[in-house]
């Protein structure tokens, strides 16, 4: 039985990528769930939309180190989503604070680097 290899994000130099994420109120006492849903998927916990920007920066830094990264959520994240009753397919449509950030990767003398461009925050849904 063959196991499919995981999809990998391998950046094309100088091509702009739009990273997207969402943070929403899930009625936690202090923090809120944060999810990057494109082009790389990651889950984290934060207290404000600045955490989404930090997650994007951390993912980009990791990409510069390993030069490829699995695209999909980890098995651990998927188990937590199932336990919490969240569908990974609905994050882009979820009511909450959404962020879009343009990122371009480029080669430098000592390796891969990135530049974060415009960042836009919007609120989707009912207040």
Q: Output the tens digit of pLDDT for each of the chain's 127 residues.
A: 566 667 999 999 999 999 999 999 998 888 899 999 999 999 998 877 689 999 999 999 999 999 889 999 999 999 999 999 999 999 999 999 999 999 999 999 988 999 999 899 999 887 5
Prediction pTM value: 0.89
| pLDDT of amino acid 80 | 94
Q: Where are the beta strands (DSSP E) in 6-95?
A: 8-9, 16-23, 32-38, 41-46, 69-70
The pLDDT of residue 48 = 75
């Amino acid at each position: 039985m063959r196991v499919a290899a995981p999809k990998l994000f391998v950046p094309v130099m100088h091509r702009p990528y739009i990273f997207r994420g969402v943070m929403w109120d899930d009625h936690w006492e202090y923090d809120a769930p944060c999810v990057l849903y494109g082009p790389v998927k990651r889950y984290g916990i934060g207290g404000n939309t600045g955490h989404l920007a930090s997650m994007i920066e951390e993912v980009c830094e990791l990409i510069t180190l390993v030069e490829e990264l699995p695209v999909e959520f980890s098995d651990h994240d998927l188990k937590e989503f199932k336990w919490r009753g969240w569908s990974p397919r609905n994050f882009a449509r979820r009511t909450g604070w959404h962020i879009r950030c343009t990122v371009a990767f480029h080669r430098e003398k000592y390796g891969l680097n990135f530049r974060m461009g415009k960042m836009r925050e919007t609120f989707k849904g009912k207040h």
